[in-house]
Amino acid sequence: MTSQRVELDERLIVSWVKLTGTLKNTRITRGMIYNEAVVMMLAYYRYREDGVGLISFKEIVAETNMLKSLVNRTIDSLAAKGFLVKSDGEDKRTTFVKLVPEKLDAFLAVHEHSIALADSILEIIGPEDAETFIRIAEKVCSANPLKKTD
């Protein structure tokens, strides 16, 4: 590996650590545990698409890269708080959860903080760089570089 490549690798790691630290310390999910907010966001986006919000356990694991046991605990926690209910889906071999519409306002109050943070970032980097950031983040996530280093 060339020294230029190693330096670029190092700068990438430093930038990644700074960004994740900034986002973590900004408390993007005030009022809700981070993993709960992530699972709720997926159910909410599904709800916006179809008016039901039914999403499978497998989809949540795939979208979040969380351990299955963590997703299970998170779903149980959200169900206990009344945000989600376990539901039957077309495939009886997997667990499905569904957003509880009556709790939507409580989630949206938490989600509004995330939207405000995204809007602040958009003001800093502008729409073009935001689109570039989204494209790059989606590319990295779809390639799942962690699988290559495990």
**What is the per-residue pLDDT across 6-55, written as a single tens digit (0 to 9) for each?**
888 888 888 888 887 776 666 666 778 888 988 999 999 999 999 988 99
> Which pLDDT score, from 0 to 100, does residue 103 have?
93
Residue 65 has φ and ψ, to the nearest 5°, of 60, 20
Please say whether the beta carbons of 60 and 39 come within 8 A: yes
The mean of the pLDDT values for the chain is 86
Angle at 65 between CA 26 and CA 102, to 5 degrees: 65
For the segment 55-96, what is each residue's pLDDT rounded down to a tens digit? 999 999 988 888 999 999 999 999 999 999 998 766 667 889
- CATH of the structural domain 28-124, one choice from 1.10.3720.10, 3.40.50.1970, 3.40.50.2300, 1.10.10.10: 1.10.10.10
Structure tokens belonging to residue 94: 């997997």
Per-residue tokens: 98: 């569904």
Phi, psi (degrees; rounded to nearest 5) at 98? -135, 140
What are the sequence ranges of the domains in the chain? 28-124
What secondary structure letter does DSSP report for 92? T
pLDDT(122) > 60:
yes
pLDDT at res. 129: 93
Pairwise CA distance, residues 16 & 53, whole Å: 32
Q: Which of 108, 109, 96, 104 is nearest to 51 (CA)?
A: 104
